[in-house]
Amino acid sequence: MPDKTVLVCQGTGCVSAGAEQIHISLEREIAQLGLGGDVQVKRTGCHGFCQQGPLAVVEPEGIFCTRVKVEDTPDIAQSLLSQKKPPERLFYRDPLTGKVIPHYRDIAFYSRQQRTVLKNCGYIDPEEIDDYLAVGGYEALRQTLLEMSPEEVIDTVKRSGLRGLGGGGFPTGRKWESCRNTAGAEKYVVCNADEGDPGAFQDRSVLEGDCHSVLEGMIIAGYAVGAKLGYIYVRAEYPLAVKRLEIAIAQAREKGFLGKNILGNDFDFDIEIFQGAGAFVCGESTALVLSLEGKRGMPKPLPRPRTTQVGLWDKPTLLNNVKTFASIRWIITQGADWFAGRGTKKSKGTAIFSLTGKTANCGLIEVPMGISLREIVFDIGGGIPGGKAFKAVQTGGPSGGCLPAELLDTPVDFDSLTDAGAMMGSGGMVVVDEDTCMVDLARYFLDFTQKESCGQCSLCVLGTLQMLDILNSITEGRGRPEDIDLLMELGEAIKMGSICGLGQTAPNPVITTIRYFREEYEAHIYERKCPARVCKDLISYRILPDKCKACMICLRECPVQAITGGKKQIHVIDQDGCTRCGVCLSVCPERFSAVECIPGRLDNTLHSA
Amino acid sequence: MEDRLTEIVPSRGRKGDLIPILQRIQAEFGYLPEEAIVKVAESTGVAESRVFGVASFYAQFRFTPMGRNRVMVCRGTACHVKGAPRILDEVEKALEIKEGETRQDLEYTLESVACIGCCGLAPCIMVNKEVHGRLTTKEISDIFTTRGECDAG
């Protein structure tokens, strides 16, 4: 048994930054030093702290090496030989205090989390079923098949209080019960892994890091509802997740967890992978089912039966999200009461978020339900870097909303977020600072949903287009005073006039930004200014005469020759010719910092003022 | 093409296999040629118009040939707030094509995608299977010039 293990994260983020080469090089260095018997180098799934990647963790101490490069691997191997810590340059440095922290347990990003679903992500090799078995994998399945009736399984899930983690928050146990109680010899279990929200990657991380936990949850679900076949509907854009799922399914079949007479019981179950071809609306259950059948993924018209009654090929179908299935094994082995004992009264257990945007620490986090947004942004996320001011946190992606600083103490659970106008959604959490324009952000989300509207409901497909036109005109400086009320009116109408979640939530980003950041809309409309200096038509660049050293750099780099001046002659931007591309600002040497970007449009006569 | 199509498309496909068959064709040719749509319709018994209807519904499928190199600019939220629009401008300049276009010499196809899922590395772009993260506009032209394929551009 090796004394030490070096875990090399192989999540998509780390792989894209060279983690595979690091793994190979580290193995070679360790072999060369003759440490092969004492030190094991292991590939793992996403460790969560993507921003600091590529990551390598030395266990059992839990020493955390960040931004590792191939050139660092000899030093890491040498440190293992001499029984010392790896070089300090690799340790995490607290962005606020500058303190060097060698153990990941002491880093606020990790210490404030409560990892359950993500517990084994980053610790086990997702391509080795034995690794999963070593951490108690498939124990829940064994317990289910040997000791529990399907009714008991459903009762346990119901008592746990687990709610669907795909965004809707529907009680999972009730869904299972409804599927079980629907008559029919043929039933299906479907795992929704069509994670299409821009800014969310937690489903992918679970699939890449601990895919057997999802399979185990699906098999237990199959037993509970009486299904023999399961499908994983996974985005084709996630090739690594698809590859690891294929490996995991093959291994599970080999070990007898999938196939005929599972664990010697009179229960057959198998799982197939279906690669989604890219349509955001397929996150809606009836649309996803049609897509699985090889059709256009358009939500079925109302009134529609539940998929638990009429689903895939018109058979009863149980559809749950990746994280919901991954939670099941813990509920079975630890008990419903254990699960229900965490979180809040109405939202049990933990929530997983992809924390991204303008926080010092970005990555995948799992927190107890009920934690405040403030704790997530400032404790786990480490606050806003660069001395900038926090402006808003966006949850729920294109269906969610933007919450301002006043609401930072909102507890993170299904109901509180919905009451505030946002939503849990599939778990994207994007933090924005003073440099983000809220009108532009609303326009960005609406542009996304507008393109993804399936086209069935006129209010959704045409209404969002009207809203988008209005938002475009506001950001381009053509906004009219009545536009704000018109946006609100359209938003309410679209919510009422759409048959699926996409249309019903598409106006949320616009409505919440108007509700909480109305003054930004007003600045765009009345003052023709973009206070965050984002909207190109509502900003200006100027050269500060007292700082300009007439170095000619911006003058040469300006793509439209809008800068005049010369050697020893202070440069001036011709405001009529300027396209506000920002090149002058980015090329002006930092020691001069003579170019500034200001809200509003200057004209040439005012420029010298 | 005919031979390869015969290999990929089963002679009698199930209706539910439509999307996987289309995915296999695109993996082979880089797009869905018209002949392929006809062939799939024959195989699955689904009308040609419906096959096209399904293919055009999903973002993955394309009907024109793809460049040898595929450049995807991430437009995810994290990338957006960290400057993706400017990154896209810069890539368009470097490749001399607009988003959604393919260069005439078929060297590059430029797309913008909803989210690559590397939000921790925002802003990022993907060139074929390689992700370039934490980008600044200044680094864009280097990515393509060091690849040595855009020198003529």
CATH number reported for the structural domain that contains residue A155 in this entry:
3.40.50.11540
Q: Looking at the structure, do residues A393 and A452 belong to the same domain, yes or no?
A: no
pLDDT of residue B10: 81
Contacts of A298 in chain B (CB under 8 A): 57
* Residue carrying the six token digits 């009545």: A482
Tokens, residue A116: 């359950």
Go through chain B and tell me how many residues it has: 153
- Is residue A204 within 8 A of residue A245, CB to CB? The reply is no
Nearest partner of A463 among A513, A511, A500, A497, judged by Cα: A497
pLDDT band at residue A1 under the 50/70/90 scheme: low
The answer as to whether A534 is a domain residue is no
Q: B18 and A294: CB-CB below 8 Å?
A: yes
Asked if pLDDT for residue A469 goes beyond 70, the answer is yes
A356 contacts on B by Cβ (under 8 Å): 77-78, 119-120, 122
- Domain identity same for A269 and A394: no
Q: Which residue of A has its CA nearest to B87?
A: A581
Burial B77-87 (b: 16+ CB within 10 A, else e): bbbbbbbbbbb
Nearest CA in chain A to B126: A16
Using DSSP bridges, classify how beta strands A100-101 and A63-65 pair: parallel, antiparallel or unpaired: unpaired
Residue ranges of alpha helices (H) inside chain B are: 2-8, 18-29, 34-44, 48-57, 77-81, 84-95, 137-146
> Of the residues A416, A433, A450, which one is the last residue of a structural domain?
A433
For chain A, the 3-state helix, strand and coil shares in percent, each to the nearest 5, are 45, 15, 40
Residues 6+ apart with CB under 8 A from A504: A494, A495, A498
> A11 pLDDT band (50/70/90 cuts)?
confident
Q: Mind telling me how many Å the CA of A160 is from chain B's nearest CA?
A: 31
Nearest to A342 by CA among A371, A376, A385: A371
Average pLDDT, chain A: 93
**A362: closest chain B residue by CA:** B120
Interface contact B120, partner A, CB < 8 A: yes
Shortest distance, CA A175 to any CA of chain B (angstroms): 25
Q: Which residue of B has its CA nearest to A363?
A: B120
CB A298 within 8 A of CB A285: no
pLDDT in tens, A473-519: 999 999 999 999 999 999 999 999 999 999 999 999 999 999 999 99
User: Does residue A596 surpass a pLDDT of 80?
Assistant: yes
Q: Is A275 on the interface with B (CB under 8 A)?
A: yes
Predicted confidence at residue B150, as pLDDT, reads 42
Burial class from Cβ neighbours inside 10 Å (0-12, 13-18, 19+) for residue A546 reads: exposed
Residues of B in contact with A275 (CB under 8 A): 19-20, 23
Helices (H), A82-127: 108-111
Q: Could you tell me the two tokens for A83?
A: 């029984």
Segment A96-109, tens digit of pLDDT: 788 999 999 999 99
Of A197-201, A257-261, A398-402, A572-576, which range is least confident? Answer: A197-201
Of chain A residues 390-449, which have a CB less than 8 A from chain B? 394, 397, 428, 430, 432, 436, 441, 444-445, 448
- Indicate if the pLDDT at residue A251 is higher than 60: yes
| pLDDT tens-place string over residues A122-146 | 999 999 999 999 999 999 999 999 9
3-state SS class at A540? strand
Does residue A345 belong to any structural domain of this protein? Answer: no
Q: Is residue A25 part of a domain?
A: yes
Contacts of A201 in chain B (CB under 8 A): 115, 117-119
Q: Is residue A457 part of a domain?
A: yes
Q: What predicted TM-score, i.e. pTM, was given to this entire model? A: 0.91
Domain boundaries, chain B: 2-57, 69-146
Which burial class, exposed, middle or buried, applies to B111 when counting CB atoms under 10 A from its CB (0-12, 13-18, 19+)? middle
Burial class (CB in 10 A: 0-12, 13-18, 19+), B100: exposed
Mark whether A335 and A360 lie in a shared domain. Answer: no
- Between CA A217 and CA B50 the distance in angstroms is 36
Tell me: do A53 and A156 sit in the same domain. Answer: no
Instruction: Let me know whether A552 and A593 are in one domain.
Output: yes
Distances (CA, A) of A258 to A55, A143, A420, A519: 33, 15, 43, 58
Is A229 a member of any domain? yes
Does B130 reach chain A within 8 Å, measured CB to CB? yes
In chain A, the residue whose alpha carbon lies closest to the alpha carbon of B15 is: A294
Task: Tell me which of A400, A433, A466 is where a domain ends.
Answer: A433
CATH number of the domain encompassing residue A97: 3.40.30.10
B contact test, residue of A49, A233, A237 with most B CBs within 10 A: A237
Low-confidence ranges of chain B (pLDDT < 70): 13, 15, 146-153
> CA–CA separation, A326 vs B42, rounded Å?
41
Q: How far is Cα of residue A459 from the mean position of the Cα atoms in its chain? A: 29
Residue with tokens 């984002």: A534
| CB nearest A430 (choices: B44, B81, B114) | B81
Please, which residues have CB within 8 angstroms of residue A402's CB and are 6 or more apart in sequence?
Answer: A392, A393, A394, A422, A432, A438, A441, A442, A509, A512, A513, A516, A517
List alpha helices for A12-149, DSSP H.
12-16, 19-32, 73-81, 108-111, 129-134, 139-147
Query: Is any Cβ of chain A less than 8 angstroms from the Cβ of B17?
Result: yes
CATH 3.20.20.70 describes domain B69-146: no
Determine phi and psi for A454, rounding to 5 degrees.
-80, -15
Could you list the residue range(s) of the whole structural domain that residue A220 is in? 129-340
My answer on whether A423 and A446 are in the same domain is no
Whether B141 contacts chain A with CB within 8 A: no
User: In the prediction, which pLDDT does A165 show?
Assistant: 85
Distance from CA of B132 to the nearest CA of A (A): 7
Let me know whether A330 and A403 are in one domain. Answer: no
Do A184 and A313 fall into the same domain?
yes
Look at A16 and B118 and tell me if their CB atoms are within 8 Å.
yes
Cβ-based neighbour number of residue A568 at 10 Å: 8
Asked if B77's CB is within 8 angstroms of A356's CB, the reply is yes
CB-facing half-sphere around the CA of A386: CA atoms within 13 A: 8
The distance of A278 to chain B (nearest Cα, Å) reads 5
In a domain, A116, yes or no: no
Structural domains counted in chain A = 5
What does the pLDDT look like over A434-454, one tens digit per residue? 999 999 999 999 999 999 999
Looking at per-residue pLDDT, the higher value among A97 and A584 belongs to: A584
The answer on A445 and A425 residing in a single domain is: no
Q: What is the mean pLDDT of residues A260-270?
A: 96
Q: Which residues of A touch B118 (CB under 8 A)?
A: 12-13, 16, 50, 201
pLDDT at A609 exceeding the cut of 60: no
Q: Is the ipTM of this complex over 0.90?
A: no
Could you report the per-residue pLDDT of A45-65, keeping only the tens digit for each? 989 898 898 999 999 899 999
Question: Using CB atoms and an 8 Å cut-off, which of residues 293-352 of chain A contact chain B?
Answer: 293-298, 313
Among A110, A141, A173, where does a domain finish?
A: A110
Residue of B nearest to A296 (CA): B54
- Position A60: which residue type? P
Cβ separation of A53 and B120 shorter than 8 Å?
yes
Q: Do B76 and A297 touch (CB under 8 A)?
A: no
A280 and A397 co-located in one domain: no
Average pLDDT over residues A538-542: 96
pLDDT for A537 beyond 70: yes
| Cβ-nearest to B120 among A293, A356, A397 | A356
| pLDDT tens profile A194-211 | 987 877 888 999 999 999
A68 in the same domain as A196 = no
How many pairs of residues across A and B have Cβ atoms under 8 Å apart? Answer: 135
Nearest residue to A10 via CA among A241, A316, A166: A241
Whether residue A575 lies within 8 A of chain B, CB to CB, comes out as no
Residues A595 and A556 in one domain: yes
* Residues 48-87 of chain B whose Cβ lies under 8 A from any Cβ of chain A: 53-54, 57-61, 75-78, 80-82, 86
